[in-house]
């Protein structure tokens, strides 16, 4: 089963789910034992395919750290926190967490884009 560990100890994912922001970016950092990487990939792919069918889902991209690291990062775009919250709290998603290997630890966190002149386009 997937273990959740806050990325920010002051504001965790469950507190973030109580806000109303649109659009929103989910960044989820996974740590997993090397032997469990195939199981992580299989579970993540099933979740991503399910999320893809949910209202408000825009896109996702999984990344693996380089140089033999067992750290993965998922970056997903959602129309709003409300849409992500509905998917995150859905019983099908909660049941899917049981398919992750026991060594897997995830740190999901929600972000919003910022505007920085000549560098970043914000909301």
Structural domain includes residue 99: yes
**Would 47 be classed as within a structural domain?**
yes
Confidence of residue 11 (pLDDT cuts 50, 70, 90): very high
- When divided into structural domains, the chain yields a total of 1
**Would 33 be classed as within a structural domain?**
yes
pLDDT over 90 for what percent of the chain? Answer: 97
> How many distinct helices (H) and strands (E) make up the chain?
4, 5
Q: Is residue 38 included in any domain, yes or no?
A: yes
Give domain status of residue 37, yes or no: yes
Strands, E assignment, 1-122: 3-4, 24-31, 57-64, 71-78, 105-111
Tokens of 36: 């469990």
| Element of type H or E holding 92 | helix 91-96
- Structure token digits, residue 122: 């914000």
- Taking 80 as the threshold, does the pLDDT of residue 123 lie above it? no
The whole domain housing 15 covers 3-108
Q: Is residue 114 part of a domain?
A: no
In-domain check, residue 113: no
| pLDDT tens-digit map of 38-92 | 999 999 999 999 999 999 999 999 999 999 999 999 999 999 999 999 999 999 9
Contact 106, 30 (CB under 8 A): yes
CATH of the domain at 99: 3.30.70.100
Q: Is residue 50 part of a domain?
A: yes
Q: Where does the pLDDT of residue 93 fall: very low under 50, low under 70, confident under 90, or very high at 90 and above? A: very high
């Amino acid at each position: 089963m997937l273990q959740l560990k806050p990325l920010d100890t002051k504001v965790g994912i469950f507190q973030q789910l109580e806000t109303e922001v649109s659009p929103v970016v989910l960044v989820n950092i996974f740590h997993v034992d090397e032997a469990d990487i195939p199981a992580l990939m299989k579970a993540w792919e099933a979740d991503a395919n399910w999320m893809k069918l949910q209202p408000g889902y825009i896109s996702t991209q999984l990344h693996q750290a380089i140089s033999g690291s067992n750290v993965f990062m998922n970056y997903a775009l959602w129309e709003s926190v409300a849409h992500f919250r509905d998917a995150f709290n859905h019983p099908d998603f909660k049941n899917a967490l049981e398919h992750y290997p026991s060594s897997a630890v995830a740190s999901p966190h929600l972000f919003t884009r910022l505007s920085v002149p000549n560098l970043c386009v914000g909301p």
